Amino acid sequence: MAKTRGGFVEQIRVLLTVRRSAIKARVAVIRQIKSLLVTAPEPIRMRWAGSSEPRVIEDLAATRPGAPSASVSAATGQALRRLARRHQDLTSEINVLEHDLRDLVGRAAPAVIAPKGYGVTTTATLPVTTGSNLSDSD
């Protein structure tokens, strides 16, 4: 039987697609931050040397580096701040998507998510991968 384009499975599929995209973008952002920190002027490199990733993101997002035209340090600081804020935005987006997926999966497959203890992403992937047609929505 062909898959339909309606129902819970399709809703889950589209949200999983967007979640995967946001995760890939967030990974790219952290790579860019790390790369910029490696090549940054020494005072910037030293400021975050040895800090944990979450701490670096939080601290960079809160910086006030000045106008990017002022110096290489200011331009690098601005770039790092923008990337850190992008990371935070993507993290928020991923959290919202996971909440939405949890709601849909809870309605589409409550017997799987509750007693088995599977994570929402794993549980959401199962009906999409197998091609189930849960159509009790809309």
pLDDT bucket at 2, cuts 50 / 70 / 90:
very low
pTM of the model: 0.80
Q: What do you get for the CA distance between the two ends of the chain, in Å?
A: 21
Give the burial string for 57-94 (b: 16+ CB within 10 Å, else e). Answer: beebbeeebeeeeeeebebbbbbbbbbbebbbebbebb
Mean pLDDT of the 48-74 span: 92
Query: How does pLDDT run across 9-31, given as a tens digit for each residue?
Result: 888 889 999 999 999 999 999 99
pLDDT at 58 over 50: yes
Q: How far apart are CA 35 and CA 30, in angstroms?
A: 8
pLDDT bucket at 69, cuts 50 / 70 / 90:
confident
Query: How does pLDDT run across 85-132, given as a tens digit for each residue?
Result: 999 999 999 999 999 998 888 777 666 655 555 677 766 776 666 565
